[in-house]
Structure 1
């Protein structure tokens, strides 16, 4: 194995693009939840706010501007996305004074006590049977004018779109919007989002794609579990989850109309814990796996393969099972909680819960080899609440070496223990040495979100790694 000097020299010889990639990869996203209320047995808004706070959820998305809910959220420090329903789009689009009145009553009256972060103007408007698409962008513009009038222009405005807005979605690199939507709606909306510094809201459900194509889509791929991955034939990128492939199809569609600088936020995604017989894949175990793996992926990872520098911000659907929603059984069983506030299944919702191991393993392609001791036995030492960072062996030696060089060089990790003759030199493999260096960097960064990624070459574990006399530190190795 190379000396520390050669580590540093090798790092300095890395290309500028590789250096930029590692800087960009340490970005983690956020997790929020959709609070729907199509039910007659839900807790009071005040009880819901207490539940959100007890679970560490600090971002919530609503489907209206119910006054009781907004009042309950006041002074809670929870970021809120509210919605202007589809049925008001035509009125808001046609009459600025109507928009002013709506903003004053539903936004201005509650802000800033209630941390309203954004307004979803309509929801999946392009598939609205009442054909409200022509009113969408004019309504967004009028709401924005009203926000400016009331000195509330810091609040973002967007509108959630469904993946059905795409003409092509496979492979991701061929993603494109439906031709008939581009001129009248897509480009004007993206132009508005760009001008106001907002983001595109996207509702994405791998469950639907899997249920309709379970003969050709791997369940592990849909659930963000370990899988061989799928290579995009158009750009050579490898995808390990259907959700990321769906999102990059949207990214490609935006690039095709020259709006690749607009950020994307996932305003709805989830998996039902129960469904009809024909709803293939619906079930409690799969729902727990999807949401658990997604939370861990968002809070400890970086962006999608096409946009690795852009962290994922995601709102899970939904907070509760809603017993009055129409449609198949699945529609009433997307909740993380029953109306009595008991969890439908265990799933982490915060980075601390992820660190405590409250989730299904995230999509990585190898186990932590350094946890194997010199006698061949697997270490079972576990410390509640503690996490470590180890190398992903299937990332390949080249990627691991680049990460190792970064950690031991500019990253400032303490790599002395993996030098020749030191306690952690053996086994002298790139994976073992990278694991030690990655963990040293991770601990040095106080186990911060995104500090254990190295472009997909590392992941977090909850059992203390080590081999032989080598123990992985919890303090950056100093």
Structure 2
């Protein structure tokens, strides 16, 4: 029999090896005044073999460009629209009738994401009512293939290290329990935004770079019987542990954002480091490996983001793009796709 250390190292090796290309999603952020047209962007996805798009807010021009492309779409509801949509199902029905129903035969809607990173926060209690209203409309429309969910950051935790001690914060717990109850009943996953970069940048003296960049060859963090060779797996398992502790061990996760900036913070944000992280992230997702806590879990992932966006706050936030606005690659991420 394999020892626990051997099992951990086997998971590390599997997570680092992609036997076959698995569709990777990329976030299409649009906070730039120099970005290409939606039609050009959709063609850029297709040229690079990217078959999953996450769009943070609905836009008719983007939806029109996506018709009959076979690009799976994860479509977001804007945070500022949540109060009105929670108050009345008519508001949700209007949103659905504008942005989903006219395209439902021509676009593969994978997820509808009710708010991005609103838990914790003053909009958190609006998420569940909107999810419930939207699910009622989807059921009535017989669109069972669309999963309703939301996307949350690691700030939902009160404690997140080591993973086995993870718990939701007092501020997040009530909203998260309601949301997880909905997701469990619908067999839908929770979307989570995970950035090893920010953890590393906050403490580069004590966090190994290869652990943050997903390419360590040895177990770096031992948590009881579970060994971690990369920070992404530890972050995912933090969610599995926290969800289990509030009674929802059956909810899966999708990594809805992850990336590394190529500029903005000196030697911590070089093009080479960004390329290394995102290439390793793509390999990690493509490996179809689970995590130490859930070896059989199927983990999907989205890279953040398609473009450098010049209207985002200064510093690293403007430099997460895989492509410049003129559609030149910042660095190669999909070298085997033509």
C-alpha distance in 1 between matches for 2:120 and 2:217 = 33
Structure 2 counterpart SS, 1:337: coil
Contact 1:144 1:153 in 2 (8 A): no
Deviations 1:225-265 (A, max 9, x none): 234322333x2211111111111111110111121111100
Structure 1 counterpart SS, 2:43: helix
- The residue that corresponds to 1:295 in the other structure is 282
Structure 2 residue 254 is the aligned partner of structure 1 residue 248: no
- Structure 1 pair 205/48, CA: closer, same or farther in 2 (3 Å)? same
Structure 2 residue 335 is the aligned partner of structure 1 residue 342: no
C-alpha distance in 2 between matches for 1:301 and 1:181 = 30
110, 118, 125: which is aligned to 1:134? 125
Deviations 1:418-453 (A, max 9, x none): xxxxxxxxxxxxxxxxxxxxxxxxxxxxxxxxxxxx
Contact 1:275 1:330 in 2 (8 A): yes
Tell me how far 1:150 sits from its aligned partner: 2.3
- The residue that corresponds to 1:146 in the other structure is 137
Tell me how far 1:28 sits from its aligned partner: 8.5
In our comparison, the structure showing a higher alpha carbon Rg is: 1
- The residue that corresponds to 2:100 in the other structure is 107
Contact 2:85 2:130 in 1 (8 A): yes
311, 316, 329: which is aligned to 1:324? 311
C-alpha distance in 2 between matches for 1:341 and 1:28 = 23
- Structure 1 pair 197/29, CA: closer, same or farther in 2 (3 Å)? farther
Structure 2 counterpart SS, 1:125: coil
- The residue that corresponds to 2:199 in the other structure is 209
Superposition TM-score, scaled by structure 2 size: 0.91
Contact 1:27 1:310 in 2 (8 A): no
Tell me how far 1:325 sits from its aligned partner: 0.7
C-alpha distance in 2 between matches for 1:216 and 1:199 = 32
Structure 1 gaps of 5+ residues are 1-9, 11-17, 357-478
What's the C-alpha RMSD, in Å, of the aligned pairs? 2.3
The structure 1 segments of at least 4 consecutive aligned residues displaced by more than 6 Å after TM superposition are 24-28
Deviations 1:181-201 (A, max 9, x none): 222x11110110111121100
Mapping of residues 386-425 of structure 1, within 5 Å: none
Structure 2 counterpart SS, 1:191: helix
Tell me how far 1:136 sits from its aligned partner: 1.1
Structure 2 residue 74 is the aligned partner of structure 1 residue 81: yes
Tell me how far 1:341 sits from its aligned partner: 0.8
Query: How many residues are matched?
Result: 326
Structure 2 counterpart SS, 1:167: strand
Tell me how far 1:335 sits from its aligned partner: 0.3
Task: Tell me which of the two structures has the higher relative contact order, counting C-alpha pairs closer than 8 angstroms and 6 or more residues apart.
Answer: 2
C-alpha distance in 1 between matches for 2:182 and 2:333 = 37
159, 166, 173: which is aligned to 1:175? 166
- The residue that corresponds to 2:4 in the other structure is none
Superposition TM-score, scaled by structure 1 size: 0.65
C-alpha distance in 1 between matches for 2:23 and 2:176 = 26
